[in-house]
Amino acid sequence: MSQPDPRQPTHLRRPRDPRIDLFRGLLLVMIFIDHVPGNWYETLTLRNWGFSDAAESFFVMSGMAAGLAYTGGVARWREIGLWSGIAPIWKRAWVLYLTHVFLTVGGIAIFAIGAEAFGLTELLTKNNLRQVFQNTGPALIGIVTLGHQIGYVNILPAYSVLLLAAPFALLLGQRAPYGLLAVSIVLWFATGLFRLNLPAYPNPGGWFFNPFAWQLIFVIGLLTGIALRGGKRFVPKHPVLLAFAVGWIVFVLSWIYIPGFGPVMDGLMARLQAVGVPFHITSQDKTFLPVLRLLHVLAVVYVISCLPIIARLSAHAYGEPLRVMGRQGLLVFSAGALLSLAGQAVLVYFDGVAIVPWLFIPVGMVALWGVAWVADWKRRAGRPLRHTLVQTEDRVMPVAAE
C-alpha cells in the first residue's frame, strides 16, 4: 500500500466566510433581545423592518452553514461509505435534540425558581408552561417526543428534523438543485393548503416552527451553501432581481409605517382570502411561513449578499465580537435562551422599574460575547495549526488554518 506524501496537506479546510459568522452572531443578538419582551432595544431588531424577523434569517443562515459544512462528506459517500457521509449530520441533529431538552428543562427550572423563591406564580402559566405544572405526566412525554415545546425555546426541534432530511436534500441538491427547490416549494405550498404539521402533545395543534413549511428557507440556504462551496452563487447577481428585492423591502416598510396604506393592504388580503386564495398567501401566520414573510426574508438576504461593502464590513476588526458569537452559534443560542428566560422573570419581579430592561439587555449581550470568546479561545488553544489548501482564482496556495 502506498504511503501518503508527507509534503502534501492531509487536512483540507476552507476559510470561513466572515459574512456568515457576523450575521449569524448579529441574528443571535436580535433573538436574545426579542426574547425578553418589554425592552426598548426590541425597536432595533429585524422584525421592525418588515414581516419577517431574526428567526427566518437564522434558518437561511443555518441552511447555508449546513451546505458549506456537509456537502463534501455527502458528495464523497461512495469513497468513504454512506454512513460516514451521513453520520456527522445526524449526530448534529442528535446534539440539537439533547440541547433542546436541556434548554426546556432549564427554562422550566428558571420559572419554577421565580415562583417558589420570589412568589412570581404568574410565571407558571407563561410560555406554554401551564401543562408542565398542571398536567405534568403528559407534558413530560410531550417534551421528550418534541410534542410539547415551551415558548422562546422552540426553534431547535424544527432545525433538528430538517438536519435528519439534509443528507437526502444534499444528494439531490448537488445533482439537480432546481429539482430540489421545486420539490421544496411544492411541499411548502401543500403544507399551507392542507395545514400539514407535526402534532403537538398534550396540547392540540402542531409545532410553532412547522418544519414542513420552514424547510423552504432552509433548503434555499442549503442550496446557497452548496453553491458557495463551489465558489458560485445559487441566485446570481442581476440588476432586475436587486431592484425587485429593494422594491419589495420598501413596499413592506410602506405597508407597515405609512398611515392608511397598511389597512388598505390588510383589507385587500382579507378580500383575497374570502374568495378562496390560500391563507398562507394572504396571511402573516408565522407557523406556515406565509409568502409575505418568505419574500421579505429572501429580499433582505439577497440585497445584503449583493452589496460589496457588506463583505468588507463583515471582515472588519470591529466585527470580531459578532463573528465570535457566530462561530459559537449553538452555545450562544443556548446561553441566550436561558438568559432571556431569566430576563423575563427579572422583568416580572422588577415590574415598573424602567432601568432594569435598559441594563439587562446590554449586560446579557456582554455575557453572551464572553461565553463565546472563552469557547473560541479554548477551541483555538486546543487545536494545532494545520495546513490547508485555499483555492484562489488562478492558483492553489497552502496557508496555515485553524
Q: Strand, helix or coil at 398?
A: strand
Q: How confident is the model at residue 385 (pLDDT cuts 50, 70, 90)?
A: very low
Write the CB contacts of 218 (distance below 8 Å, at least 6 apart in sequence). 59, 60, 62, 63, 66, 159, 162
Q: What is the mean pLDDT of residues 46-73?
A: 95
d(CA 29, CA 339): 12
CA–CA distance from 274 to each of 278, 303, 361 (Å)?
Answer: 9, 34, 43
- For residue 9, whether the previous peptide bond is cis, meaning omega lies within 30 degrees of 0, is no
Taking the alpha carbons at both ends of the chain, their separation in whole angstroms is 30
Predicted confidence (pLDDT) at residue 189 exceeds the cutoff of 60: yes
d(CA 128, CA 279): 25
For 81-115, what is each residue's pLDDT tens digit?
989 999 999 999 999 999 999 999 999 999 999 99
Q: Residue 382's pLDDT is what?
A: 77
Among the listed residues 361, 355, 287, 266, the one whose alpha carbon sits nearest the alpha carbon of residue 56: 287
Q: How confident is the model at residue 14 (pLDDT cuts 50, 70, 90)?
A: low
d(CA 341, CA 298): 30
Q: Strand, helix or coil at 361?
A: helix
Write the CB contacts of 89 (distance below 8 Å, at least 6 apart in sequence). 66, 70, 73, 74, 163, 164, 166, 167
For 199-245, what is each residue's pLDDT tens digit?
999 999 999 999 999 999 999 999 999 999 999 999 999 999 999 99
